[in-house]
Structure 1
């Protein structure tokens, strides 16, 4: 997966991906905006968590 993200970065693609387990946080990706949709116990409400990947760490963006 690391190499796939490296290829996407080298080609200059913008992309949107969805996954329950894939975050895209690899050293080959210099920056990334990540949104986690959290729905506890199948209730009728979802919460969005916004993260930024800076090439080294995934950081929660707090407003």
Structure 2
């Protein structure tokens, strides 16, 4: 069985249009992951921290 990687052209330049499409796809994936991280991880943590702090403040105010 022959190695198909030996058939790769070493001095072949990728077309700029194709390169730009690949980079755009990668950037879109990164954006999607950032948005998912924001709404699935960071936002719930912020909301829970807010309500936890609010409960502590309410409890402290009621004790005074």
Query: Common fold, TM-score beyond 0.5?
Result: no
Please give the TM-score of this superposition, normalised by the length of structure 2.
0.15
Report 1 or 2 for greater relative contact order, CA contacts < 8 Å, sequence distance ≥ 6: 1
Query: If each structure's strand is expressed as a fraction of its own residues, which one has the higher value?
Result: 1
- Structure with the higher helix share, 1 or 2: 2
Which has the greater radius of gyration? Answer: 2
